[in-house]
């Protein structure tokens, strides 16, 4: 990432989108919209003082909605280019028409520019490599798995963020239900604190304790004063908040990290209702996540529910076996039919074990759905823009004997834009696509050999 950002021969256009494509192999003309960041990239030092002071908080896309970020943000800490960006929609100053300007005030580099506009960049290129990646299948369309309804059912990518030391829980396997609980507690505590502050002022002003006042007020002996109605209201509010807080805090104190995990394979793939194809990497992905969870806490046990576990790749079968032997992973052959929830918010997986031929159920702390790899949302639009064909699954169409070539000469495709694949395969394809593109560019006579 860093190398790509620094390389003299790479012009990095992040936060940009292709709008127009014309021309043909050897001489494509493109129009790219460089979206306004409202932060001057050349001046921003990435210090993050603006983030600290920004008053607008929204869900963080990088943490797949499990964490929060500010309206001015860096997509992720190690992100390249190492610069910030204002999300105009959620910014008080830009999107909501309020007076704010805090980030501009705290920025010592004077990098904030509310007037910045989108820029249209014209490019002339010899070849195009499409590496537009994939999207994660949205499992909320499978009602029986309860994703979105049952807090402790998460996607594999969400689980990955929970495991990550730079993620929303700093690598602790806190369950989403407990995260939601903590948010609720924090909101109530804030409300209580606000009420208490106002009550303290009233106590000082009138020289009596709230308990005493409430007693008098209820008995109608408090007398007349403009403050009294408000005081009584605040006292009531504080009492209600305290009452609500007690059981929530008790639940939070009893909470523990997730130690018993279930992984459900083929969620949205190899399922004729959604996608017929196999997403290929999810089997190993689940084994990996179960192993990392076990590394975090040796008491963690995992059950991987699958039709079959596909460990096709160098070292993959050994990795799978190692997981079973040393990371408390049990491989269960059976497809989970339904997930329900008990009163402690633990998900229960119902399945038919094809080895025992019995319908069984088991309670877990958390269920991870190994969601399918589906074409990224922008794929059809891009295909139309470039005049490319898509295959029956919606990925860019290629020929089995020329797996990197699209139907247009000079446009190549690699990685998950072409179909589901894992990281090593993506890297192999990327290098091959680069070689194919280089061939085209050098034939067009545009190569400056020995430039690097």
Partner 1 sequence: MVLGGGIAGIQASLDLAEMGIQVHLVETLPCIGGKMAQLDKTFPTNDCAI
Residues 253-292 touching partner 1, rule: CB under 8 A, are 284-285, 287-288, 291-292
Is residue 5 close enough to count as binding partner 1 by CB under 8 A? yes
Which of 307, 359, 409, 427 contacts partner 1 by CB under 8 A? 427
Distance CA 426, CA 415 (A): 4
DSSP labels for 100-131? --HHHHH-TT--B-TT---EEEEEEES-EEE-
Is residue 47 close enough to count as binding partner 1 by CB under 8 A? no
Is residue 95 close enough to count as binding partner 1 by CB under 8 A? no
Residues paired with residue 413 on neighbouring β-strands, in sequence order: 130
Residues paired with residue 22 on neighbouring β-strands, in sequence order: 29
State the minimum distance, in angstroms, from the CB of residue 12 to partner 1.
Answer: 5
Which of 316, 350, 362, 394 contacts partner 1 by CB under 8 A? 316
State the minimum distance, in angstroms, from the CB of residue 277 to partner 1.
Answer: 18
**HEC assignment per residue over 293-351:** HHHHCCCCEEEEEECCCCCCCCCHHHHHHHHHHHCCEEEEECCEEEEEECCCCCEEEEE
Is residue 310 close enough to count as binding partner 1 by CB under 8 A? no
Is residue 25 a contact partner of residue 127, using CB atoms and an 8 Å limit?
Answer: yes
State the minimum distance, in angstroms, from the CB of residue 92 to partner 1.
Answer: 19
Is residue 88 close enough to count as binding partner 1 by CB under 8 A? no
Is residue 10 close enough to count as binding partner 1 by CB under 8 A? yes
Is residue 163 close enough to count as binding partner 1 by CB under 8 A? yes
Is residue 116 close enough to count as binding partner 1 by CB under 8 A? no
Q: Give residues 354-393 in contact with partner 1 (rule: CB under 8 A).
A: 378, 382
Which of 176, 415, 419, 420 contacts partner 1 by CB under 8 A? 415
Is residue 306 a contact partner of residue 354, using CB atoms and an 8 Å limit?
Answer: no
Classify 241 as helix, strand or coil: helix
Is residue 58 close enough to count as binding partner 1 by CB under 8 A? no
Q: Give residues 430-449 in contact with partner 1 (rule: CB under 8 A).
A: 430-431, 433-435, 437-438, 441, 447-449
CA atoms within 13 A on the CB side of 440: 21
Identify which of residues 295 and 330 has a Cβ nearer to partner 1 in the complex: 295
**CA–centroid distance for 144 within its chain:** 23
| Closest by CA position to 339, among listed 331, 348, 330 | 348
Is residue 321 close enough to count as binding partner 1 by CB under 8 A? no
State the minimum distance, in angstroms, from the CB of residue 231 to partner 1.
Answer: 49
> Count of residues binding partner 1 (CB under 8 A)?
86
Distance CA 90, CA 81 (A): 22
> CB within 8 A of 61, min separation 6: which ones?
75
Classify 195 as helix, strand or coil: helix
State the minimum distance, in angstroms, from the CB of residue 233 to partner 1.
Answer: 45
Identify which of residues 64 and 235 has a Cβ nearer to partner 1 in the complex: 64
Q: Which stretch binds partner 1 (CB under 8 A): 137-145, 215-223, 225-233, 420-428?
A: 420-428
Which of 164, 301, 340, 393 contacts partner 1 by CB under 8 A? 164
Count the neighbouring beta carbons within 10 Å of the beta carbon of residue 297. Answer: 13
Which of 50, 54, 64, 195 contacts partner 1 by CB under 8 A? 64
Distance CA 76, CA 61 (A): 10
Distance CA 89, CA 285 (A): 35
Is residue 353 a contact partner of residue 325, using CB atoms and an 8 Å limit?
Answer: no
State the minimum distance, in angstroms, from the CB of residue 58 to partner 1.
Answer: 14
State the minimum distance, in angstroms, from the CB of residue 163 to partner 1.
Answer: 5
Identify which of residues 334 and 397 has a Cβ nearer to partner 1 in the complex: 397
Identify which of residues 174 and 341 has a Cβ nearer to partner 1 in the complex: 174
Distance CA 109, CA 84 (A): 12
Is residue 169 close enough to count as binding partner 1 by CB under 8 A? no
Q: Which stretch binds partner 1 (CB under 8 A): 47-55, 129-137, 329-337, 354-362?
A: 129-137
Is residue 183 close enough to count as binding partner 1 by CB under 8 A? no
Distance CA 118, CA 114 (A): 12
Classify 363 as helix, strand or coil: strand
Token representation of residue 233: 């209201």
Which of 70, 161, 259, 294 contacts partner 1 by CB under 8 A? 161
Q: Which stretch binds partner 1 (CB under 8 A): 30-38, 186-194, 206-214, 299-307?
A: 30-38
């Amino acid at each position: 990432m860093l190398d790509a950002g620094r390389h003299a021969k790479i012009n990095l256009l992040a936060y940009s989108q292709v709008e127009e494509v014309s021309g043909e192999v050897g001489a494509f003309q493109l129009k790219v919209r460089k979206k306004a960041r409202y932060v001057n990239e050349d001046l921003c030092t990435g210090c993050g003082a603006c983030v600290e002071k920004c008053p607008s908080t929204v869900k963080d896309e990088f943490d797949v909605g499990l964490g929060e970020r500010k309206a001015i943000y860096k997509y992720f800490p190690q992100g390249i280019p190492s610069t910030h960006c204002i999300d105009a929609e959620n910014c008080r100053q830009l999107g909501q028409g309020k007076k704010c300007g805090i980030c501009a005030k705290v920025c010592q580099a004077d990098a904030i520019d509310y007037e910045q506009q989108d820029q249209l960049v014209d490019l002339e290129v010899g070849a195009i490599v499409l590496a537009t990646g994939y999207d994660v299948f949205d499992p909320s369309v499978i009602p029986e798995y309860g994703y979105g309804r049952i807090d402790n059912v998460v996607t594999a990518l969400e689980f990955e963020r929970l495991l990550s030391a730079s993620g929303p829980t700093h690598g602790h396997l806190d369950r989403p239900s407990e995260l939601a609980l903590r948010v609720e507690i924090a909101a109530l505590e804030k409300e209580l604190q606000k009420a208490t502050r106002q009550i303290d002022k009233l106590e000082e002003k009138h020289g009596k304790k709230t308990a005493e006042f409430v007693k008098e007020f209820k008995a109608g002996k408090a007398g007349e004063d403009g403050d009294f109605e408000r005081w009584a209201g605040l006292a009531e509010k504080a009492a209600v908040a305290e009452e609500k807080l007690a059981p929530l805090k008790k639940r939070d104190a009893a909470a523990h990290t997730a130690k018993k995990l279930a992984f459900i394979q083929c969620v949205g793939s190899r399922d004729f209702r959604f996608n017929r194809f196999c997403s290929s990497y999810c089997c190993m992905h689940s084994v990996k996540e179960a192993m990392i969870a076990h590394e975090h806490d040796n008491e963690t046990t995992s059950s991987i529910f699958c039709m079959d576990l596909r460990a096709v790749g160098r070292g993959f079968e050994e990795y799978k076996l190692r997981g079973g032997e040393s990371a408390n992973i049990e491989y269960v052959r059976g497809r989970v039919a339904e997930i329900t929830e008990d009163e402690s918010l633990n998900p229960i997986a119902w399945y038919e074990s094809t080895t025992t031929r019995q319908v069984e159920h088991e309670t877990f702390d958390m269920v991870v759905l190994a969601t399918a790899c589906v074409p990224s949302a922008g794929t059809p639009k891009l295909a139309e823009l470039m005049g490319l064909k898509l295959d029956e699954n919606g990925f860019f169409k290629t020929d089995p004997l020329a797996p990197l070539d699209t139907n247009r000469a000079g446009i190549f495709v690699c990685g998950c834009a072409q179909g589901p694949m894992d990281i090593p395969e993506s890297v192999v394809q990327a290098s091959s696509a680069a070689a194919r593109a280089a061939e085209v560019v050098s034939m067009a006579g545009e190569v400056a050999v020995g430039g690097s």
